[in-house]
């Protein structure tokens, strides 16, 4: 009689009906004589039958919007561009995310309280640096594409200027910033070679100070469509103010 | 080897590839749910899978196993994400899992009882309790019905290891389903049984 240790490696193929006829007789003979292997084979057979009986019904449908998000990956990713529209939590180094949370932890209560502008600007600067450092940006995106993506993925309503009205800015991405419970829209531009971020803060968040210099970056804030918008770049104040004026004057669509 | 295509045929090919790949969305999402046991992480994982797939589309040979290729990407993306997040111990390929003793002797419950008594939710829960390597092997074999060879390519382990994982995964799953069924039977017996679980 074969040893259990000889039969065990063949058990799955036996249960699946995929062992050659000669081995099948050998396995069947052993299982008939060995109570332990008989129980193992029976257990495996039952589990196999149960799972296969549920194989279709156990498949849970993907969320309705997931296909659209994945298709966007196809349109931008297949062309060799890393899509910044699709950055998700998976793309975040956790150590950095933890640092961001620690940096802001406990500093912010939004709604009725005026937020410490410097703390917010510091947080946005970190987000700005992270996104431009970690992720490739495509050469240019259509404002309609970014607006639609921000709306579809995160529910953000952000009206962006058309390319010919953007004062020379090149639109290179849009995503959600995890700051302030992930309720901040982050739009990425380039002004020449200079990375420029536009952050649209959630309703109720107001800054006590509208121009802040932090970590070598300049942040300029203004109110539009009932929200605080912040333009941030490592650039001269005059240039950042010019960008803020461009983004602030374009009518919402 | 990279193929050369004109820009128009490249676009058409990409569109066709995208359509074919997205046809597996639900299956990839379901597998991602079992791997991550969390819907938000599963969505992230599927997005990452498609992003990688579309970026590497030229490496795919038309007419070959697209489903297997996508599941391989899903498996690798999952390992990378988990490594990056480092939020749970690595168990998938640990020797401890491969050498784990067979779970108990198991109860000799008739197959038809479990077949009738097990609901989708019960099965998902029981699967989610298996060690990840076993869970993935059982899912790929019995839900996706990949061959042993395909699974070995997807998870990048020898066929013998695949068969061992399937075997131990099925036995452990059986024991969990039996235990669950017996718990319900004990709870239900004073009041005449749970109508949602006939025969229990």
CB-CB contact of A49 with B170 (8 Å):
no
Quickly tell me which residue has 């108990």 as its tokens: B104
Of B85, B113, B144, the last residue of a domain is B85
Residues 6+ apart with CB under 8 A from A92: A178
Cα angle for residues B165, B166, B167 (degrees, 5° grid): 90
Is residue B53 located within the same domain as residue B129? no
Q: For chain A, state the CA radius of gyration.
A: 28
B131 occurs within a structural domain: yes
Among A40, A78, A93, beta carbon nearest to B54: A78
- H/E stretch holding A141 reads none
Distance CA A219, CA A235 (A): 10
Q: What is the pTM for the complete model shown?
A: 0.54
B198 occurs within a structural domain: no
Is residue B63 located within the same domain as residue B116? no
B137 occurs within a structural domain: yes
| Domain ranges (residues) in chain A | 7-53, 66-249
DSSP bridge partners of A217 = A214
Q: How far is B55 from chain A (nearest CA, A)?
A: 5
Sheet containing strand A211-214, strands side by side: A169-177, A184-191, A194-200, A227-233, A217-224, A211-214
Residue A103 at interface with chain B, using a CB cutoff of 8 Å = no
Quickly tell me which residue has 């390319």 as its tokens: A163
B1 occurs within a structural domain: no
Of B85, B118, B151, the last residue of a domain is B85
Residue B81 at interface with chain A, using a CB cutoff of 8 Å = yes
Distance CA A41, CA A49 (A): 12
Q: What is the pLDDT of residue B91?
A: 43
CATH class of A66-249: alpha beta
This model of the complex carries an ipTM of 0.76
Is residue B48 located within the same domain as residue B106? no
B174:A90 CB<8 A: no
- Domain extent, residue B160, equals 95-191
How much of chain A, in percent, has pLDDT values that exceed 70? 71
Quickly tell me which residue has 């196809």 as its tokens: A74
DSSP bridge partners of A188 = A173, A197
Distance CA A194, CA A197 (A): 10
Among B46, B109, B142, beta carbon nearest to A70: B46
Is residue B108 located within the same domain as residue B185? yes
Among A44, A52, A66, beta carbon nearest to B167: A44
Average pLDDT over residues A212-217: 72
Residue B153, domain CATH: 1.10.10.10
How would residue A159 be classed by pLDDT, with cut points 50, 70 and 90? Answer: confident
Among B27, B87, B160, beta carbon nearest to A9: B160
Total domain count, chain B: 2
Residues 128-157 of chain B whose Cβ lies under 8 A from any Cβ of chain A: 138, 141-143, 145, 148
Q: What is the pLDDT of residue B188?
A: 61
Residues 149-208 of chain A whose Cβ lies under 8 A from any Cβ of chain B: none
> Which residues on chain A are in Cβ contact (under 8 Å) with B39?
63
Q: What is the pLDDT of residue A38?
A: 92
B181 occurs within a structural domain: yes
Is residue B136 located within the same domain as residue B158? yes
- Closest to A210 in 3D by CA, of A187, A241, A180: A241
Is residue B100 located within the same domain as residue B162? yes
Residues with pLDDT less than 50, chain B: 1-5, 87-108, 192-200
Residue A61 at interface with chain B, using a CB cutoff of 8 Å = yes
| Composition of chain A by helix, strand, coil, percent to 5 | 50, 20, 35
φ and ψ at residue B4, rounded to 5 degrees: -105, 135
Is residue B72 located within the same domain as residue B116? no
Is residue B78 located within the same domain as residue B112? no
Is residue B144 located within the same domain as residue B75? no
Burial A182-200 (b: 16+ CB within 10 A, else e): ebbbbbbbbbeebbbbbbb
Of B23, B56, B85, the last residue of a domain is B85
Q: What is the pLDDT of residue A45?
A: 92
Is residue B62 located within the same domain as residue B103? no
Distance CA A21, CA B78 (A): 39
B33 occurs within a structural domain: yes
Is residue B187 located within the same domain as residue B109? yes
Residue B11, domain CATH: 1.10.1740.10
Q: How far is A108 from chain B (nearest CA, A)?
A: 26
Average pLDDT over residues A22-47: 91
Is residue B101 located within the same domain as residue B183? yes
B114:A46 CB<8 A: yes
Per residue in A38-86, pLDDT (tens digit) is 999 999 999 999 999 999 999 988 988 888 888 776 565 443 333 333 3
């Amino acid at each position: 009689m074969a040893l259990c240790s000889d039969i065990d490696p063949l058990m799955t193929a036996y249960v699946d009906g995929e062992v050659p006829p000669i081995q099948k007789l050998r396995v069947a003979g052993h299982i008939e004589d060995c109570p332990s292997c008989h129980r193992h084979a029976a257990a495996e057979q039952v589990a196999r039958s149960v799972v296969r009986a549920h194989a279709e019904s156990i498949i849970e449908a993907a969320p309705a919007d997931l296909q659209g998000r994945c298709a966007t990956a196809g349109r931008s990713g297949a062309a060799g561009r890393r899509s910044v529209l699709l950055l998700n939590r998976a793309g975040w180094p956790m150590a950095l995310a933890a640092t961001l949370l620690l940096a802001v932890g406990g500093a912010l209560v939004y709604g009725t309280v005026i937020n410490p502008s410097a703390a917010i600007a510091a947080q946005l600067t970190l987000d700005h640096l992270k996104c431009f450092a970690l992720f490739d940006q495509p050469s240019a995106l259509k404002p309609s594409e970014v607006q639609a993506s921000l709306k579809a993925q995160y529910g953000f309503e952000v009206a962006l200027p058309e390319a010919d009205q953007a004062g020379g800015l090149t639109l290179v991405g849009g995503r959600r910033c995890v700051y302030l419970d992930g309720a901040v829209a982050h739009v990425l531009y380039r002004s020449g070679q200079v990375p420029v971020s536009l952050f649209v803060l959630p309703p109720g968040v107001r800054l006590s100070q509208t121009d802040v210099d932090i970590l070598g970056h300049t942040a300029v804030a203004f109110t539009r469509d009932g929200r605080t918008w912040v333009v941030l770049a490592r650039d001269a104040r005059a240039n950042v103010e010019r960008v803020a004026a461009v983004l602030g004057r374009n009518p919402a669509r | 080897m990279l193929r050369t295509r004109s820009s128009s045929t490249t676009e058409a090919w990409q569109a066709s590839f995208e359509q074919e790949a997205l046809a597996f969305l639900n299956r990839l999402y379901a597998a991602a749910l079992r791997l991550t046991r969390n819907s938000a992480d599963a969505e992230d994982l599927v997005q990452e899978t498609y992003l990688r797939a579309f970026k590497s589309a030229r490496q795919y040979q038309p007419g070959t196993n697209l489903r297997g290729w996508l599941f391989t990407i899903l498996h690798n993306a999952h390992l990378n994400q988990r490594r990056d997040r480092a939020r749970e111990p690595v168990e998938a390929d640990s020797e401890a899992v491969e050498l784990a003793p067979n779970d108990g002797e198991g109860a000799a419950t008739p197959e038809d009882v479990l077949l009738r008594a097990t609901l989708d939710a019960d099965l998902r829960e029981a699967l989610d309790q298996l060690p990840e390597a076993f869970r993935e092997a059982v899912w790929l074999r019995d839900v996706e019905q990949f061959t042993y060879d395909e699974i070995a390519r997807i998870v990048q382990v020898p066929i013998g290891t695949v068969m061992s994982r399937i075997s131990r995964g099925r036995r452990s799953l059986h024991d969990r389903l039996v235990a669950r069924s017996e718990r319900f039977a004990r709870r239900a017996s004073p009041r005449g049984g749970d109508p949602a679980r006939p025969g229990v």
